[in-house]
A and B are shown apart, each in its own frame.
Chain A
């Protein structure tokens, strides 16, 4: 159990276009998902917390108008990178929380590699 999928796994786009990345919890419901970004040889950076049915909470320094997050159902969160630029090229990873009593665990999707030309 606790499988998280992401689509697409890899995307190449032209500068100025928008890219949507989907994150799905396949065998559980997730009221909370997280979006991370990771540049080569750097650590994970949390971008935002995605809450089902409400607005996302963005970390300091992350532009909410550039990185649009929608969590419309208990199994799907989407991240849209608007007007992408080469500096947005990165590895985008989502995670979802599995709750078991008082204990919660984050499980990660396989990630989406974005290359903006």
Chain B
């Protein structure tokens, strides 16, 4: 079992729809959770961070964390073609030398 798992996709949604990206992690002591967006040929860009159970909203993005079920999700409302990218989930756990554990990413395609 991978430490951080994501569905590779591609996830295809029509423009204006809600895109839902999911991530599960195996280590219960994980403390910090991140979503990064990576466009093809570019470096990752931080979208959201979340540390506590529940929802965190920032514009069209909402991160949801459920530590009991060990999953974190990212919702993108009113999806735009410019949201088409690979979304990477990353997890940090205490005592891990500050390194992030990365999922392999979910490819999202928003169709006009």
Q: At the interface with chain A, which of B11-19, B42-50, B73-81?
A: B42-50
Q: How far is the CB of B101 from chain A (nearest CB, A)?
A: 9
**CA distance in complex: A36, B43 (Å):** 10
Query: How many residues on the A side are at the interface (Cβ–Cβ under 8 A)?
Result: 19
Chain B contact patch, size range = 20 to 34
Asked if A57 and B97 make an inter-chain contact with CB atoms under 8 angstroms apart, the answer reads yes
- Residues in A70-94 with C-beta less than 8 Å from chain B: 91, 93
Q: Is A54 engaged at the interface, CB distance under 8 Å to the other chain?
A: no
Asked if B43 and A103 make an inter-chain contact with CB atoms under 8 angstroms apart, the answer reads no
Q: Is A115 engaged at the interface, CB distance under 8 Å to the other chain?
A: no
- Residues in A91-106 with C-beta less than 8 Å from chain B: 91, 93, 97, 103-106
CB neighbours (8 Å) of A46 from chain B are: 99, 102
- Residues in A38-87 with C-beta less than 8 Å from chain B: 43-44, 46, 49, 57
Asked if B97 and A110 make an inter-chain contact with CB atoms under 8 angstroms apart, the answer reads no
- Known: A104-B32, A104-B92, A105-B34. Is A44-B102 also a contact (CB below 8 A)? yes
- Known: A43-B104, A109-B43. Is A103-B98 also a contact (CB below 8 A)? no
Q: How far is the CB of A7 from chain B (nearest CB, A)?
A: 14
Which residue of chain B lies nearest to A97 when distances are taken between CB atoms in the complex? B98
Chain B residues with CB under 8 Å of chain A are 32, 34, 36, 41-46, 49, 51, 88, 90, 92, 97-100, 102, 104-105
